Structure formats: structure tokens, C-alpha cells
Structure 1
Amino acid sequence: MKKIFAILSLVMMNSLSAQFKIEIEAPATYTPKEVYLYTLSGSKDLLETKEVRKGNTWQINVTKPYSGMMKLYFPEQNVSINFISENKDIKLKFDVENSKVSNIQYLDESNFVMNNLQDVQQKKEFILPALFQMKEYYKDNSDFGKAIENEIGRLSNNSETSAKYPFVSFYKTNYAKFLEKSAAKKPVTHKDIIEFLTKSNDFLETSSLMRPILVSYLNIGPSTNVSADIDQLLTAVNVETPRGQTVLSELIEIFDLYEMKDLKDKYLTKATNLKCTINDRLSSTIATNKNTEIGAQFPDQIFNVASNTKAKSIYGVKASKKIIIFWASTCSHCEAEIPKFVEKYSALQAQNIQIIGLSLDSEKGAYENKVKSLPWINDSELKGWYSTYTDKYNVHATPSYFILDSNNKIIAKPDHAKDVLTYLKLN
């Protein structure tokens, strides 16, 4: 009997140690050693685990059940690879061309099916309409005409994905219903989307469909009262449930992204005033907004390899005021605005005002070349939009500005460089 219990215990331990495994194979010439694995909640990437390379492969054990979108991120080269999980083992490999990842091969069945599905979806939306137009100019009995006809037939095929892949089936069905562009498709209504959001299983949170479907909900019109439409939606999904709170979080972030300030403020207040248990998704949205509103203490940031300073962090920089600029060398608006600060830098220094530039660059060479001409404090994690800055400081676009007082309290959040200089009376 003891032996049986020992065997059962061993089986249980093994089942708890890994729900499924992810194997990634890379060429020997690919130099990054570390990879991060992300899962998804609504539109938020959540860091699940990280792993170090052994030989030419990474082996990742996922200990919790998960079906949905996943992402691999190689921080040393700021490269990401998207794939899915059906809560089964996953295997992929890739080539490298000019130090860049290329020719990703999905070797497990579910990712092979999903990759083909997404390829067809893209062609169906962007190429199929052109093929119908081209068909009018070619006779069906010509070789090219037959090829067009065959491709139209392939892309128009709406056969259901096998039930063998439940997440793929969920994604395909609901992408086609709510997001696929087609003149022949019946318009989606508020009622359709509310029913979907209230009745879907947990695949919704991990599918990447929630945010675009919510944007679709907001764009259904004409509506005489957008706020009433949103209230109807939130009542249906119930903001005291995890699903309702994730929807509320997504809406707040959509309003913030599209600068719909009145709606953002209204529903952020609603979220803050909830008396029930708050899930991690909404809690994070509330905290990020609270920490970056005017009057809040700007969260400190430890510098990576900062130039033009001996300070170790933002708080270590002593000045009467600080201008925080989130920017990137690839940002055209930054190219237009940042020279204005170069012109006024002597005047800023005369008032003991310091500029701290936090870059969302990912290419080291481009960043280092650019900061040579910027005389203030500059730092970057070289992780692009995967930088910790984006969530920590609620940054959705570059350039973004904060003005801090001597105690690092946020006293202004101007929209443009001229607004910064006007606030500081330097225009």
C-alpha cells in the first residue's frame, strides 16, 4: 500500500511541476541567452516566467493551466514572437538573417493551424477584395484567371476549425463575427457584443479580442449618449466580477489612449469607488493612474546607464524643477519637439531646471548616436515599448511630458514642448 501511495504522490508531483512545456530552438549564431514568457489578460502582457538558454534551445515549463495567446520576448535584442497555447506542449524554431529572427516554424499542431488561420485572415481582409476586382479583367480559362479563382475559393472557405483546437476555434469564430471586415457581413450591434462579453468563457481574456471588440462597441452608432451605452455594458458585465473589472480596466485605458478625458475620469472614479474585491488587472490600472496624476509623487526610477549625471535615480537628481521626457530616436514628433529644449537649455539651467530624458528606443546604436547631441540626463532600458516606463508611468505615446517640483511631485503634464516652455515662462 505504501508503494502505491508513493507512486501516486510522484505522479501528482510531476503533474503539478508542469502543465505543458515550451521548446524553442535557435541557430548557434543567435546570441541572446535569456527569454521572457508572457501570458495575456485583456490587452496586457503578464510576465509568466523567464528562462536561460541551454545549448541552442530554451526549455520552459508552464506550471499553471493556460489556453490563449502567449509571447516570447528576447530582451537582449528586443525581439518578440507570438504564439498560442492549447494547454499542450509547444515547439518552435527559427532562423536568423542579419541578426534578426526570420522564418519562424511552428512545429506543434495547434500553432501550425493558428499560424495558417491568421495568414488567411490577413489575406482575406486585405487581398481578397483586390482579387475580386482583378477577376473582372481576366478570363476564367486563362492560367492566371484560374489561379485567381482558386485563391478566391481558398480565402472564402469558412469551414469550421476542428474541435480538436478549442482556443483556435474560439478565436476564429469570434474574430470573423466581430472584427473581420466584410461588406456582406451583417453589422454587429451593442446587444451582440454585450451578449458575447457576458457569455464567453475564459478564452476571452487570453484571446487578444477584448480590446478591439470594445473599440468596436464604442464605434457603433450613431449614438446620442455614449456614456449611457457604456453604463449599459458595465451593468451587463457586472463590475463586481473579474470579467466586469477587466472590461472596466480596458475601457479606462482606451479612453486614456484616445484622450477622452471626461470618460476616463468618470470611469476611473467609478473603479476607485468600488467596495468589492478588485482583481489585479483593474488594481494595476487604478494604481498607475493614481501615481501619475497631478499632485501625486512621481514614482522613482533607478537609472540603467545614464549620461550627463552621477545621480543613480530620478530622486537623486537635485533641481528646483525637473522635466521628464519620454521619447525615442525613431519618433517623428520627438524630432520636431526636442530641439526646442536644446535651444532653451541654457535658460533652463539658469533656473536650476533639469531635464531627464527616458528613451523608449530599442536599437542601441540609434539611441547612443542621438543622445550625443542632447546635453541633459538621458537613460534607456533599450527595450522599446517593453520598457518598465510604459506601465509604471502610463505612457502611451512619445513624446510625453511631466514637470516635477523639487520634491518630485507632479505639478504639470503638458501635451507639447511649447506647453512645457509656456508653463515655465520660457517662451
Structure 2
Amino acid sequence: MKKLLFVSSVLLSAYAFPQFTVSADIPTYLADSEVYLYGFNGSKEILYSKAKITNNKAVFKVDKKYIGMMRAFFQKSNSSINMASENSNINFKVELDSKNKISNVVFTDATNQLFSNDVELQKKQELILPALIQIKDYYKPSETFYKSLETEINALSKNDSSLYASHPFLDYYNKNQKFSVQEKAAEIKPQDYIDFYSKSGEYLETSLILKPSLINYLNASKSNVEGGVDKLLDAVNLETPRGQTILSELIDIFNSYNMDKLKEKYLAQANNLKCTINDRLSSTLKANNNTEIGAKMPNNTLANAIHTKAKSLYDIKASKKIVVFWSSTCSHCEAELPKLLEKYDKLKAQNIEIVGFSLDSSLDEFKNKANIYPWVSASEGKGWYSSYGETYNIVATPTYFVLDSDNKILSKPNHVGDVLDYLKVN
């Protein structure tokens, strides 16, 4: 019995302590900010932890193994910081500029010091190295300045792979980042992309390489995009988690770029799968099915609501509703929403209400702008980290829906003019 108790206590201890922590020294300005730590599944951000802030230090505790890219989001400054995790402690210091935006981040853990140095080296290789090579041609090899240039060029041209011996994720990232770089896309053949996806190791989904590399693959297959996608999906096998994550990313890309025929084809293919569906594809299917014409739009709590006492979208009663997702910093919203304002009295006369969900990260900026418009407005104050994107498949602002009195989706107009034409409001 004592042995069993000992084993149980060991197991409980394992669950009681985090896998690793992420600690950040932050300026006083951010001491009252909400700060969130996200990991990745493809391009989808997964919330791992909310920071506990004490004495200008934000500490995240991550309670499960994670290797890959992570992102810390500071709500107050609407700023984020990318970092690499190899399932060990991460430490950094945040510095702000005069406008309280993040101007510099200094990492003190070995993984992110190496990662930061790599990023800096790549910038120099892209921006400085070509210029140095050109300048060198103006000098003779016997000249001192020529020799200095040659030394600098050699230093910038080196990639010391031995540095990654104890950093498996950084090694993976360093070797495969080329697939996600647009400038290098022309050098890579479509079959090389397919081999990369089908043979790549376990870090692809957490590396932030997947989505940009898929966009590059689609561009490389532009003479026959549909054929290229079919070939890719055959190679990665849609009954595997890898294949389903890639299918999910492709559907999201087609949605973002208004490639509706391709989106509908592969969405149907996903819906018809008979195997177990992974979380990544399941969330994409749910978001799309939530917003199909004829579907009942999911309800949503009206957080920080203006111009209403209603608690949720369903509480607002009208013969029809225009639901618009917008932001105070969106230039297209600035151009389109005043056109709704011009017709608001006519819309109200027909018992049509407007409900705006803002993707602002600043509630003050949201309220300042929302007060200009007389209709119902709400915002979670989390920017693109709001729940709206996941629930309603929002990839751009403004995005419009027209609902009937039972909150069923009648139309998904692309622009404000389409909204008014659909409702026959002149």
C-alpha cells in the first residue's frame, strides 16, 4: 500500500507542475494588460495560458508538452511577440517606444537567443549582403577595404549548422523555412512541396511554415490549381491528421481569397469524410457550416454593448438584421459604414436592425467610433483574438450577414451596396 501511495504522489506531482514557464519582464504601462500565450496548429492559434502579472513580470505556466512557435499577445498595446519553444523555460524583456508600442525584445534563454540571432542574420543576408557584394566590385583585391568587405561577406554568408545540434525545432525551422518564403518560391518545384508535406517531421503543424508554404504551392501550381490540390491531398492522405490539417488550411485559404468554387469543392470533400476528423478540420467545418446560407447564425453575447439593453444577438427582435463585423482601424469600414448610416432611418422604418461586432483590441477606440453609429454595437476588445473569427468564420472586415427574424442567414453580401440592394433600400 505504501508503494502505491508513493507512485500516486509522484503522478500527482507530475500533474501539479507545469512543463515549462514563459517569463517576461514588462514595462509599467503593460502591468495592467491582459496577456495571453498561444501555440499553433497550422495557422490556428491555440490558447495555452493567460499571464499572471506581479511586480512588472508576466509569467505563463504551460502544463503540457509543446515544441514549436508560440506568440504572446499584449492586449493593451495590441502587440504580439513570436518565440520558439522547445518545451523548456523561455525568458525575455519587453521594451516600448514613445507611443507604447513594443520596440524591442531581449531574450535570455538559449533557444530564443539563437532564434533571434538567426532572424537578424537573415535580415542582413537579404538586405545588406547583396549590397556588400556589389560594392566589393569597385575595389581591387589588394586594397584594405576590399579585404574588410570580403571578411564581412564571408561572415554573413555562413550558416553554422552545428549550432542546432541541441535544438531540434530550430534545426527543422532553419532547414525548411525556404518553403514559406515568397521570394524563394520560384526556385521550388511543386513536387518538392508535396514531398515536404508528406515526409516532413512532427514540427510542421507548430512551425508557422504550413500556411505560407501552401500559398506558395498554389502559386507554383497556378496553371492548374485544382489539379495541384488533388495531387497534394492524394499524397498526404485525408485519413491522417496531417492530411486533414492541410485540407483545413486550404479551405481557409480559398475562403480568404474568395476562391469560392474551390472552397465549396473541398468543403464538400471534407464533410463527406467517413473517418475520424481531427480538431483542426472539425473547427473549420463548424465555422463554415455555422455561416452557410439557410443556417441559423450562432448566438453571441453582446460584450461591452452600446445602444441596447439586450444581452445577446438573439435578444434583438426585428423582421431582419444586418450583422456586420468591423473595426475602428479598418479603412474599408470607414468607407462603407457611413453609407449604412445614411439609410438607417429607412432600414428602421422597415423593422430592420443593424448589429455590429467590433474586432477592436482597444475598447476605448471601439466606443469612440461606435458612438457615431446609432445601431447596436458590441466588442470583446480582443482584436483578431476575439471569438468572432472562430464562430463566424471572419477573415476580413467588414463582413456582412443578413438574417431573418429567426436569425437564419438569408444572404452574405460582399459590400454595403450589396446589402442595400438585397434589402431593396434606395
TM-score (norm 2): 0.91
Structure 1 residue 201, shift from structure 2 partner: 1.5
Counterpart in 1 of 2:181? 179
- Aligned residues, how many? 423
Is residue 395 from structure 1 mapped to residue 397 from structure 2 by the alignment?
A: no
1:394-413 → structure 2 map (5 Å cutoff): 394-413=393-412
- Code of the residue aligned with 2:202 in structure 1: it is D
Task: Return 126-135 or 63-72, whichever deviates more.
Answer: 126-135
Counterpart in 2 of 1:106? 107
- What do residues 373-399 of structure 1 show as CA deviations (whole Å, max 9, x unaligned)? 212112222222111111111111111
Counterpart in 1 of 2:124? 123
Task: Return 17-26 or 162-171, whichever deviates more.
Answer: 17-26
Counterpart in 1 of 2:49? 49
Task: Return 371-380 or 91-100, whichever deviates more.
Answer: 91-100
> Which secondary structure state, in structure 1, belongs to the residue aligned with residue 315 of structure 2?
coil
Contact 1:42 1:208 in 2 (8 A): yes
Change (3 A) 1:24 1:222: closer
Structure 1 residue 69, shift from structure 2 partner: 0.5
| Cα distance in 2, alignment partners of residues 110 and 360 from structure 1 | 33
Counterpart in 1 of 2:271? 272
| Cα distance in 1, alignment partners of residues 339 and 139 from structure 2 | 56
| Cα distance in 2, alignment partners of residues 154 and 322 from structure 1 | 62
Change (3 A) 1:313 1:178: closer
> Which secondary structure state, in structure 1, belongs to the residue aligned with residue 381 of structure 2?
coil
| Cα distance in 1, alignment partners of residues 50 and 319 from structure 2 | 41
Is residue 383 from structure 1 mapped to residue 401 from structure 2 by the alignment?
A: no
| Cα distance in 1, alignment partners of residues 129 and 49 from structure 2 | 40
Contact 2:328 2:365 in 1 (8 A): yes
Contact 1:359 1:380 in 2 (8 A): yes
- What do residues 179-214 of structure 1 show as CA deviations (whole Å, max 9, x unaligned)? 2735xx982112211111111121000000011111
| Cα distance in 2, alignment partners of residues 397 and 31 from structure 1 | 31
1:301-340 → structure 2 map (5 Å cutoff): 301-340=300-339
- Code of the residue aligned with 2:387 in structure 1: it is T
Is residue 188 from structure 1 mapped to residue 188 from structure 2 by the alignment?
A: yes
- Code of the residue aligned with 2:201 in structure 1: it is N
Counterpart in 2 of 1:85? 85
Percent identical among aligned pairs is: 49
> Which secondary structure state, in structure 1, belongs to the residue aligned with residue 297 of structure 2?
coil
Contact 1:34 1:52 in 2 (8 A): no
| Cα distance in 1, alignment partners of residues 140 and 399 from structure 2 | 55
> Which secondary structure state, in structure 1, belongs to the residue aligned with residue 84 of structure 2?
strand
| Cα distance in 2, alignment partners of residues 143 and 288 from structure 1 | 63
Q: Please, which runs of 5 or more residues in structure 2 have no aligned partner?
A: none
Contact 2:179 2:193 in 1 (8 A): no
> Which secondary structure state, in structure 2, belongs to the residue aligned with residue 315 of structure 1?
helix
| Cα distance in 2, alignment partners of residues 408 and 277 from structure 1 | 31
- Code of the residue aligned with 1:181 in structure 2: it is E
Counterpart in 2 of 1:233? 232
Higher helix share: 2
Structure 1 residue 294, shift from structure 2 partner: 0.6
| Cα distance in 1, alignment partners of residues 136 and 109 from structure 2 | 36
- What do residues 266-292 of structure 1 show as CA deviations (whole Å, max 9, x unaligned)? 000010011110000000000000001
Contact 2:91 2:108 in 1 (8 A): yes
- What do residues 139-169 of structure 1 show as CA deviations (whole Å, max 9, x unaligned)? 7788887776555434322332421111011
| Cα distance in 1, alignment partners of residues 330 and 141 from structure 2 | 48
Structure 1 residue 222, shift from structure 2 partner: 5.4
> Which secondary structure state, in structure 2, belongs to the residue aligned with residue 285 of structure 1?
helix
Change (3 A) 1:102 1:32: farther
> Which secondary structure state, in structure 2, belongs to the residue aligned with residue 361 of structure 1?
coil
> Which secondary structure state, in structure 2, belongs to the residue aligned with residue 312 of structure 1?
coil
| Cα distance in 1, alignment partners of residues 296 and 9 from structure 2 | 51
Structure 1 residue 29, shift from structure 2 partner: 4.6
> Which secondary structure state, in structure 1, belongs to the residue aligned with residue 377 of structure 2?
strand
Task: Return 32-41 or 207-216, whichever deviates more.
Answer: 32-41
- Code of the residue aligned with 1:87 in structure 2: it is N
Q: Root-mean-square deviation (CA), in Å? A: 2.5
- Code of the residue aligned with 1:168 in structure 2: it is L
| Cα distance in 2, alignment partners of residues 311 and 173 from structure 1 | 53
Is residue 162 from structure 1 mapped to residue 164 from structure 2 by the alignment?
A: yes
- What do residues 291-334 of structure 1 show as CA deviations (whole Å, max 9, x unaligned)? 01111111111111211111111111111111111111221111
Change (3 A) 1:413 1:145: farther
Change (3 A) 1:143 1:36: farther
Contact 2:320 2:351 in 1 (8 A): yes
Counterpart in 2 of 1:346? 345
Counterpart in 2 of 1:19? 19
Structure 1 residue 12, shift from structure 2 partner: 4.5
| Cα distance in 1, alignment partners of residues 33 and 370 from structure 2 | 28
